[in-house]
Amino acid sequence: KQWYQRRVAITAGIMTAMLAAGLYPNICIHHEKRKLWVSETQQALMHKSSVNCTNGNYIFPSPYFAYGEKIKTKVIAAKTTTMVSPIHLILFGSSSVICHTDHVLIDEWIPLDM
């Protein structure tokens, strides 16, 4: 049973890494409730049909998400979101990584605190 659980965990990590690579540059940062930053200057909402959508102040293990598409109705919304970890972004979901003394900046707008 432990072998199977370990294999499932490894497979889930690999799938998340492939989604980060495949959906790049569609990366966003969860801010609060449904609010997301989809670029340095543009905010959006997590689409209500997304499995990650919450109206409460839920704190995700990682604030970084890859999304399949943005749609615009009354507001801009990101659909089909998948939470990704910072290591997935650094290795598979970025075109530039800039290292500073206290943080890393991915694509000149996604901050990762160290």
pLDDT tens figures, 36-82: 999 989 999 999 999 899 878 888 999 999 999 999 989 999 999 99
What is the DSSP annotation of 81-102? EEEE-HHHHHHHS-S-EEE-SS
Q: Tens digits of per-residue pLDDT, 2-12?
A: 888 888 888 88
- The predicted model scores a pTM of 0.88
Greater confidence (58 vs 35) lies with: 35
For residue 54, what pLDDT is reported? Answer: 83
Which residues are CB-contacts of 43 (< 8 A; sequence separation ≥ 6)?
Answer: 31, 35, 36, 37, 76
- The Cα-based distances of 82 to 2, 41, 95, 100 in angstroms read 26, 21, 19, 27
For residue 47, what pLDDT is reported? Answer: 94
